[in-house]
Structure 1
Amino acid sequence: MTEESTTGHAKGNGSDTGNRGGLLGELSAEFAGTMVLILFGCGVVAQVVAGGALTKPPGGLGAHDSISWAWGLGVTFGVYVAGRLSGAHINPAVTLSLAAFRDFPWHKVLPYMVAQTLGAFIGALLVRWNYTEALGHADPGHTFKTQYVFSTLPGNGVLPVSEWGALRDQIIGTAILMLLIFAVTDLLNQSPRANLAPFVIGLIVVAIGMAWGANAGYAINPARDFGPRLASFITGYHSAWHDQYGSFYFWVPIVGPLVGGLVGAALYQVLVSRFLPVAGPPEVGRVPAPES
């Protein structure tokens, strides 16, 4: 999400001639960045549960705000970790959208997605291990009561939201995310300066969590949901693939974000990108030259 192309748009792969590791280095960075995201994201939910701040999801306003901020900061830190080598997609929906609209190489899409999912899986295992005692005390049967520490549920396990309602929510939420990411990283637009894009992208995730978190837990990232869901399943959460109604649910936070990401990227292209000037904005303090 950081490399400038010849047209001034962000290409998204972040690699350059200084990348000594090639594709392996990019995949390693995606793994590390996504792992950092999950360490903060799943970690904050586990801490809220273990600390007794929630008696049932989604809990009080303070707990919700804490979760939203930590997920956003996790994104910021993950992007800073991986940005130079890979562009810090840390989200398969971002990778797919960049391939479709920003010339990211298609042959890298699947490897990036695998690296992201593995990073999320390992991050979730570390959270699960660290909070073993606390989660066991709060929920000895490893049920939906604490499953949402790792993966999302329709209505956060409380509100009456169907899987189709959650799918709609994930498409809309990820479309918002991708439209804004494209805007923030487009150097022909008003992109942030001084390497502030990761911080702004983190704020985008905070805002989505605060405004679009009720219906489906704002996964907006297939790796963020599937990796921890798999980690929870192999460590005792045997209902991890289902929702609280007994329906297979794991596909919703995979399909919804992938579709939504493409929708958001297409909206940016149609509504904004095609109208931007071919040259970037003038430097701060520079007086534009008069037209001849």
Structure 2
Amino acid sequence: MSSVPKSSTATGHRHSSSTDTGKFDETNLDRNGRSGDAFNERHEYFTRYPNNWAKIREVIREPAAEMLGTMVLTLLGTGVNCQAVLSANTGVASSQKGDYLSISFGWACGVALGIWVCGGVSGGHVNPVVTLCMAVFRDFPWRKVPGYVLGQLIGAWAGAIIVFGNYFHAIDIVEGGDGKRSLATASLFGTYTLNYMPSANCFFDEFIGTFILLLVVFAITDKRNAPPPSGLVPLVVFITILGIAVAFGMQTGFAINPARDLGPRIMTAMVGYGRKVFNYRSQYWIWSPILGSFSGGLVACFLYDTLIFLGPESFINAPDKDARRFLALDKNVERPQAPSGSQRDEAAMQV
């Protein structure tokens, strides 16, 4: 779930403007196709672009990775919802095939595996809140934010519609007839709060869950703190999601991820649930799963950077006017060299 630095090319080398535009200039080659730098340039070009699809993939690779990661997250999450809830109906299964604990584990597995699918390519955000916070508080490029968020939303929608297609007949049995659709089964995909919950409490519930998630994400991606070994970030996130689910999941369904709620919600509106999934409790989907999640994440990251983080990536650690002036002068100061045979010179030689 952290932003992972990636080389600008598949080979790790810098390319000239001719290759960056997807074209190769052969004017400098001899008839054998070998002419010093031009041959090396051609070798790098065809290594980077073995075919035309490679050029397209280079552009969409990171958002596509986020799409696949979020799809895996939603497949397992909404899948465990459907299995645990629908199987409680005797017309669907002879005995219930899950409970709240299995739902909590299912969502935690979904998030962890989703991060493992795309983490090495895109950083494994699988959550618009993570993407936004990485752009605000770290050096994640703002130009990538729309593509990441769109990929996450499409992935969540795709995962939900696959699960709906798989459990379509069981949903019909629970609803009591073909084509009948109610919020009872819509809640298998999107998040809906308990009836007694006031609006402010719904917002705060999502705020708390996302606050915890982003606080942990920023802690485990801080090299100056105590980050887990490489490749084990998804495992820590698994534990975090499981903890949030069993402690704060009852009242609002712990969306803690706007894409995880909005993608499946759009899907339910498209397959027969209609406008009621958006009109529910005066557009609940906006002020709880979206605004509550973004608010909790941003506050968590602000507090972490204010109280703990020491890196220069955060705007909170940006040098003030006096520091900038001193650092600018410091760059131009020519420091005197120690005379030969001095103690400092001898110490340097010993090192």
Report TM bin, short chain.
0.7 to 0.9
Task: Give the one of 22, 37, 40 matched to 2:73.
Answer: 37
2:159 matched residue in structure 1:
123
Q: Does 1:142 align with 2:177?
A: no
Distance 1:14 1:34, change over 3 A: farther
After TM superposition, list the pairs within 5 Å mapping 1:206-225 onto structure 2: 206-225=242-261
2:302 matched residue in structure 1:
266
Q: Which moved more, 1:84-93 or 1:250-259?
A: 250-259
TM-score (norm 2): 0.69
**Contact 1:154–1:163 (CA under 8 A) maintained in structure 2:** no
1:247 matched residue in structure 2:
282
After TM superposition, list the pairs within 5 Å mapping 1:57-76 onto structure 2: 63-76=99-112
1:16 matched residue in structure 2:
7
Q: Which moved more, 1:194-203 or 1:85-94?
A: 194-203
After TM superposition, list the pairs within 5 Å mapping 1:95-134 onto structure 2: 95-134=131-170
Distance 1:275 1:90, change over 3 A: closer
**Contact 2:76–2:107 (CA under 8 A) maintained in structure 1:** yes
What is the CA–CA distance in structure 2 between the aligned matches of 1:142 and 1:13, rounded to whole Å? 42
What is the CA–CA distance in structure 2 between the aligned matches of 1:116 and 1:131, rounded to whole Å? 23
1:9 matched residue in structure 2:
none
Q: Which moved more, 1:90-99 or 1:253-262?
A: 253-262
Distance 1:259 1:71, change over 3 A: same
RMSD over equivalenced CA pairs, Å: 2.1
> Relative CO higher for 1 or 2, CA cutoff 8 Å, sep ≥ 6?
1
Structure 2: tracts of 5 or more residues without a match? 11-47, 49-56, 91-95, 313-351
Q: Matched residue of 1:250: which SS?
A: helix
Distance 1:275 1:119, change over 3 A: closer
What is the CA–CA distance in structure 2 between the aligned matches of 1:265 and 1:17, rounded to whole Å? 28
1:7 matched residue in structure 2:
none
Q: Which amino acid aligns with 2:227?
A: S
What is the CA–CA distance in structure 1 between the aligned matches of 2:295 and 2:139, rounded to whole Å? 18
What is the CA–CA distance in structure 1 between the aligned matches of 2:247 and 2:5, rounded to whole Å? 30
Identity score, percent: 39
Q: Which moved more, 1:118-127 or 1:135-144?
A: 135-144
Q: Which amino acid aligns with 2:285?
A: F
Task: Give the one of 235, 244, 247 matched to 2:271.
Answer: 235
2:316 matched residue in structure 1:
none
**Contact 2:89–2:174 (CA under 8 A) maintained in structure 1:** no
Q: Matched residue of 2:283: which SS?
A: coil
The superposition leaves residues 95-114 of structure 1 with CA deviations (integer Å, 9 ceiling, x where unpaired) of 00000111110111111111
What is the CA–CA distance in structure 1 between the aligned matches of 2:167 and 2:5, rounded to whole Å? 35
1:48 matched residue in structure 2:
84
Report the alpha carbon displacement of residue 17 of structure 1 after superposing the two structures with TM: 3.9
The superposition leaves residues 125-177 of structure 1 with CA deviations (integer Å, 9 ceiling, x where unpaired) of 0011110000111124321211111011122xxx5112322111111211111
Q: Matched residue of 2:285: which SS?
A: coil
Runs of 4+ with >3 A deviation: 17-23
Q: Matched residue of 2:70: which SS?
A: helix
Q: Matched residue of 2:294: which SS?
A: helix
Q: Which amino acid aligns with 2:162?
A: L
The count of corresponding residues between Structure 1 and Structure 2 is 256
What is the CA–CA distance in structure 1 between the aligned matches of 2:208 and 2:266, rounded to whole Å? 25
Structure showing greater Rg: 2
What is the CA–CA distance in structure 2 between the aligned matches of 1:104 and 1:227, rounded to whole Å? 24
Structure 1: tracts of 5 or more residues without a match? 3-11, 55-59, 277-292
Distance 1:192 1:225, change over 3 A: same
1:82 matched residue in structure 2:
118
What is the CA–CA distance in structure 2 between the aligned matches of 1:266 and 1:72, rounded to whole Å? 25
What is the CA–CA distance in structure 1 between the aligned matches of 2:119 and 2:156, rounded to whole Å? 17
Report the alpha carbon displacement of residue 271 of structure 1 after superposing the two structures with TM: 2.2
Report the alpha carbon displacement of residue 49 of structure 1 after superposing the two structures with TM: 1.7
What is the CA–CA distance in structure 1 between the aligned matches of 2:217 and 2:151, rounded to whole Å? 21
1:196 matched residue in structure 2:
232
Report the alpha carbon displacement of residue 23 of structure 1 after superposing the two structures with TM: 4.3
Report the alpha carbon displacement of residue 13 of structure 1 after superposing the two structures with TM: 4.6
What is the CA–CA distance in structure 2 between the aligned matches of 1:190 and 1:77, rounded to whole Å? 22
Q: Which amino acid aligns with 1:122?
A: A
What is the CA–CA distance in structure 2 between the aligned matches of 1:44 and 1:233, rounded to whole Å? 21
What is the CA–CA distance in structure 1 between the aligned matches of 2:150 and 2:216, rounded to whole Å? 24
